[in-house]
Amino acid sequence: MEVQIRNEKGMLVWSRNCVGGFTSPAYAFDTTLEQIRDALNSALYECMGELAVSDDVDRVADVSAAAT
Whether the Cβ atoms of residue 25 and residue 13 lie closer than 8 Å to each other: no
pLDDT of residue 51: 87
pLDDT of residue 55: 65
What's the burial of 64, exposed, middle or buried (CB within 10 Å: 0-12/13-18/19+)?
exposed
pLDDT of residue 60: 58
- pLDDT tens for the chain, residues 1 to 68: 999 999 889 989 899 999 999 988 887 778 888 989 999 999 999 999 888 887 666 555 555 656 55
